[in-house]
Amino acid sequence: MASIKIDQVQKAFGKVIAVDHLDLEIKDGEFFTFLGPSGCGKTTTLRMIAGFYYPTKGMIRFGDKDMTRVPPEKRNTGMVFQNYALFPHMTVFENVAFGLRVRKISAKELKTRVQDVLRKVRLEKYSDRQVSQLSGGQQQRVALARALVIEPEILLLDEPLSNLDAKLRDEMRSEILRLKEEYKITTIYVTHDQAEALSMSDRIAVFNFGVCHQVGTPSEIYNEPANDFVASFIGEINLLPVKVERVEQDHVYVSAQFGSESRELVVHNLPYNFNPDAKGDLSISIRPEAIKVFEQQTDGTNILKGKIEKVEFFGSVINLSVNVAGLLLQVNLLNNRSNNLESGADVWVQLPEDQIRVIPVVSGDVSC
Amino acid sequence: MLKNRDTRFTILLLIPVLLVLVAYVLYPSIRTFIESLQTERGASLANYLDFFSQESKTNLQALWNSVYISILSVLVSALIGIPLAFIFNRYDFPGRGFFSSAAIMPIVLPSLVGVMAFMFLYGETGLIPNLIKDLFGLEKVPFKIGGVSGILVVHAYTMYVYFYMTVSSAINKIDPSLEEAAYNLGANRFKVFWKVTFPLLTPAIVAASLLVFMISMASFSAPFLLAGGYRVLSLQIYFSKLNGDMEVAATQSVILSIVSIAFLLFMRWYQNRKDYRMATKGIGAHRSEVKNPVMKWIMVLLGIIGVIILLLPHFTILLLSLVPDGTWTWQIYPSVFNFENYRLLLQDPNIFKPLKNSLILAFIATAGNLVFGVLTSYLLVKRKFIGKNFVDILVMIPWALPATVIGMNLIFAFNEPNIFSFGNILVGTFWILPLAYFVRHIPLVVRSTNAVLEQLDDSIEEASRNLGARWFYTFRRVILPIIMPGVLSGTLLAFVESVGEFPTSVLLYTISNRPISIEIMNQLRMFNMGQAAAYGMIQIALIAIVLFISNKVFGVKAEQSLS
Ligand SMILES: Nc1ncnc2c1ncn2[C@@H]1O[C@H](COP(=O)(O)OP(=O)(O)OP(=O)(O)O)[C@@H](O)[C@H]1O
Ligand SMILES: [Mg+2]
């Protein structure tokens, strides 16, 4: 096991800069996820940790050891490839034993260790099968077993579930979590599936265009997104460009543009809601489930009149699209059978002042 | 910037590959070019002026003859190959599978042996013309082949296969729904063929035409045995060399090379063009069953006749090989058949020697091809380096150059000591032949290895290194075992081609290492048809075994790497 320090790393392929200004510290035994849209540099970062690419700038350390230019075979990382990369000419047993044979482990120990790990991934019955005769999920588990059996310091998983169907994906997800508990190994997990990232990780790094936007626990990432990219990439959110009008002791007053009218909104002056150092363009963000809906005009702050455009019924929740002066707000309500909202009806929505957050709009130069 | 380990390693692998290519491909070509500039009055273009001057009619005439024969060969081969490809891939009738695999039988005939078979079948004293003469009680043989017609018939027989194979695979890649869409829009059969199907096949037809043109330009065995007084450029080089006019031979070689390399570059350009074939994915062939019973049986009958014509040369060689020498002198048809020729082949050391020579020479050359081919192919497919295109072109040069030119290049390069021959003169020694065979088959082995390596995902190699294996261990235990079937089938093909190689052998052999093809030529000169045919049969058997092993054991369609 080892911690990983990534220090001001940049990777350029010719003119394309795939990863830039990357600073990360992954703790010993942590389950750490790289999350981001396609092409944002997740695989590139993972491959630099595995040693398949060397950084153009910066340094990578495992614990205190400088690994920046150590060749992949000397890093003792276990990698599970997106397409599994099983050796097609070997059986399941031979595939898993490969890393041990390279390490010249005695035949007896090799056998017990391979059987041990095959039992853990529940493939002990398949050890003599040719890998081409396995299903996708089974191949996946062989790949996991092959990476785990060498007792790597770091386990690297590059979108390991993306080739599987939904049911198998759920199954493998709990399998990976189970193995994580069992091996307590530092793990880096790459995905572009936010639900997967939120449910599995100890911490998440959110990438876009080669830049890391935020690092935090799943609840930090969801509840306190650092900027509009993170906010919109994870879960649903309403974003409105705003200008800060005045800052008082307890409250911040911002003006938001609704179509032609400008409206003043009140936000708590607390670190969760407002960061006085935020510069550049700003936006308010509010999750759809935080917005309150009234069928009659009510008193209070931040109340806006609107018209329901669309009602989507999902059973336990109801999603509304509310048109406020030409702007659509997404609202989620819990179904309590009392609301009979129909499209076309007038409603009053409230954006609670403790739920609104003022966040920066990224122009691409953000780093964590 | 600090060069990393991988880059250093790539350079380390690249050095031997470049060295071999420069020493045995590039340098000999340059030597020939320098030789062609030699005149009594120092370096000049005088030899080229001579070549194109009106006085030396033979040279210009030979160049024109080569082009003329090549164009005719393209036309005739296309006329046979394209319709056959259509019939076998679009219609279903009894025996279709058998006929379509028989269609590639000409490949199982080494060129020299094939030409020999055609001489016995259709020549002046050939079996077929005489049979017809006797059957119908004619005065004279009704026809005979020789000169241009002889060369053309042999070319058509061997080269239609290239059209057949490329067009077949193109037909199978056409999405049937394209034609169905055209029918649906109201086009009739004729319209659909000319407006939809044919344009989609054009790239394949052009590629096959270029290929056949190049191969006919380089063709040596057919003109050698059949041309009579007709002169083509590849043969002209050989005669110049025999007469000791080395500068003239060099000039002719350079001109033939220029034509061939121009075609190679044109072909690469044409194939790398973005074309619309890629728009649809490969979809299984859509064969319509021939329902009309009369049509069906006509098809079957034509198929049977076709197969007989295709296999007749093989049977002729078999038949002749059973006729002991000296028992067929004045009779029109042979009368005695036994295994005497094969017995002699195995028991008479003098007759066995050429076979043994060929096997040894081919083995040495092919072992070199295997090691060099795998290394070069790995570099070309899996490694990044500057100048990859240059290496790629060097690898392809021996494919574009006619065998006669390769032979001449080696003569000019190694009839004097130099560093590439470690200070020895190679011409006139044992080693020049394996070297020639090696150079000839570099492209074949590299390309067939490229094909399997391209299939191999990069992450397989990465997975192995991630598990702690060094490069060499990875290469030995992971990469080699996976690509071996494809590599071996290419290598075996190179082996059998080396065993039968004629054009470079005839330029470079010595008495003590004379290979099988030279002995066939000698036996023909002494009218020992039976013995010549027995050698031929051995080669046919070798090729058949190799194709069978490739198909059944390795699951590779080896014949496809021939084109
Ligand atoms: N070997 C390479 N050569 C050139 N450019 C590359 C190379 N590898 C990656 N890139 C570029 O670097 C950027 C980041 O790629 P990367 O593979 O890291 O993305 P990713 O986040 O893993 O995306 P995905 O979710 O699609 O796998 C992309 O713009 C890609 O085109
Ligand atoms: Mg990726």
**What is the residue-averaged pLDDT of chain A?**
88
| pTM of the model as a whole | 0.81
Run of H or E residues at A268: strand A261-268
Residue B233 predicted with pLDDT over 80: yes
**Tens digit of each residue's pLDDT (9 = 90 or more) over A199-224:** 899 999 999 988 899 999 999 999 88
Confidence label for B2 from pLDDT (cuts 50, 70 and 90): very low
Residue A187 predicted with pLDDT over 90: yes
Whether B468 and A52 lie within 8 Å, measured CB to CB: no
Average pLDDT over residues A65-79: 90
Confidence label for A174 from pLDDT (cuts 50, 70 and 90): confident
Min Cα distance A139 → chain B (Å) is 14
DSSP-derived secondary structure for A91-140: BHHHHHHHHHHHTT--HHHHHHHHHHHHHHTT-GGGTTSBGGGS-HHHHH
Task: Find residue A9's DSSP bridge partners.
Answer: A22
Run of H or E residues at A304: strand A303-313
Q: What angle do CA A263, A264, A270 make, to 5 degrees?
A: 145
Residue A350 predicted with pLDDT over 70: yes
Tokens of B107: 């490949």
Phi, psi of B550 (to 5 degrees): -60, -45
Of A161-170, B355-364, B493-502, the poorest mean pLDDT is in A161-170
Q: Which of B2, B468, B481 sits opposite A99 (nearest CB)?
A: B468
Pairwise CA distance, residues B493 & B542, whole Å:
10
Confidence label for B557 from pLDDT (cuts 50, 70 and 90): low
- Which residue type is seen at A293? V
Give B212's Cβ-side CA count (13 Å radius): 33
Reported residue count of chain A is: 368
Most confident by average pLDDT, A115-119, B259-263, B347-351: A115-119
Pairwise CA distance, residues A10 & A132, whole Å:
38
Residue B361, pLDDT score: 94
Q: Which ligand is nearest to the CA of A18?
A: 1
Pairwise CA distance, residues B131 & B138, whole Å:
10
Average pLDDT over residues B228-252: 88
Q: Is A66 on the interface with B (CB under 8 A)?
A: no
DSSP-derived secondary structure for B315-362: HHHHHHHTS-TTS-SS-SS-----SHHHHHHHH-HHHHHHHHHHHHHH
Residue B417, pLDDT score: 86
**Tens digit of each residue's pLDDT (9 = 90 or more) over B29-38:** 999 999 888 8
Run of H or E residues at A239: strand A238-247
Measured between beta carbons, which residues in chain A are less than 8 angstroms from residue B469? 73, 98-99, 102
Q: Is A68 on the interface with B (CB under 8 A)?
A: no
Q: Is A59 on the interface with B (CB under 8 A)?
A: no
Measured between beta carbons, which residues in chain B are less than 8 angstroms from residue A72? 462, 465-466
**Tens digit of each residue's pLDDT (9 = 90 or more) over B529-550:** 888 889 889 888 888 888 888 8
Question: Could you tell me the fold of the domain covering A4-228?
Answer: Rossmann fold (3.40.50)
Domain with CATH 3.40.50.300 in chain A: 4-228
Average pLDDT over residues B298-321: 87
Pairwise CA distance, residues B458 & B456, whole Å:
6
Confidence label for A23 from pLDDT (cuts 50, 70 and 90): very high
Say how many Å lie between the CA of residue A9 and the centre of ligand 1. 15
Run of H or E residues at B533: helix B529-552
Confidence label for A339 from pLDDT (cuts 50, 70 and 90): low
Contact A172, A164 (CB under 8 A): yes
Run of H or E residues at B463: helix B458-466
**What is the residue-averaged pLDDT of chain B?**
84
- B42-43 and A303-313: which strand pairing? unpaired
Residue B323 predicted with pLDDT over 90: no
Residue B1, pLDDT score: 38
Residue A333 predicted with pLDDT over 60: yes
Q: If you take atom 28 of ligand 1, which residue's CA is the nearest one?
A: A39
Residue B253, pLDDT score: 93
Residue A368 predicted with pLDDT over 50: no
Residue B416 predicted with pLDDT over 50: yes
Domain with CATH 2.40.50.100 in chain A: 229-360
Percent of chain A residues topping a pLDDT of 90: 41
Average pLDDT over residues B419-446: 89
Pocket test for ligand 1, best of A35, A42, A82, A212 (most atoms within 8 A of CB): A42
Q: Which residue has the higher pLDDT, B409 or A315?
A: B409
Confidence label for B283 from pLDDT (cuts 50, 70 and 90): very low
Average pLDDT over residues B355-384: 93
**Tens digit of each residue's pLDDT (9 = 90 or more) over B89-120:** 888 888 888 888 788 788 778 888 888 898 88
Residue A4's SS3 state is: strand
Residue B54, pLDDT score: 66
Q: Which atom of ligand 1 is nearest to A207's Cα?
A: 21
Q: If you take atom 30 of ligand 1, which residue's CA is the nearest one?
A: A39
Pairwise CA distance, residues A169 & A187, whole Å:
18
Q: Which of A73, A76, A89 sits opposite B470 (nearest CB)?
A: A73
Sheet holding A65-66, edge to edge: A16-26, A4-13, A57-62, A65-66
A30 Cβ contact partners less than 8 Å away, ≥ 6 residues apart: A186, A187, A202, A203
Min Cα distance A164 → chain B (Å) is 19
Residue B376, pLDDT score: 95
Question: Could you tell me the fold of the domain covering A229-360?
Answer: OB fold (Dihydrolipoamide Acetyltransferase, E2P) (2.40.50)
Pairwise CA distance, residues B342 & B362, whole Å:
21
**Tens digit of each residue's pLDDT (9 = 90 or more) over B385-403:** 888 889 988 998 998 899 9
Tokens of A179: 């193995």
Residue B330, pLDDT score: 63
Residue A278's SS3 state is: coil
Question: Counting beta carbons within 10 angstroms of the beta carbon of residue A368, is it exposed (0 to 12), middle (13 to 18) or buried (19 or more)?
Answer: middle
Residue B278, pLDDT score: 42
Question: Counting beta carbons within 10 angstroms of the beta carbon of residue B28, is it exposed (0 to 12), middle (13 to 18) or buried (19 or more)?
Answer: buried
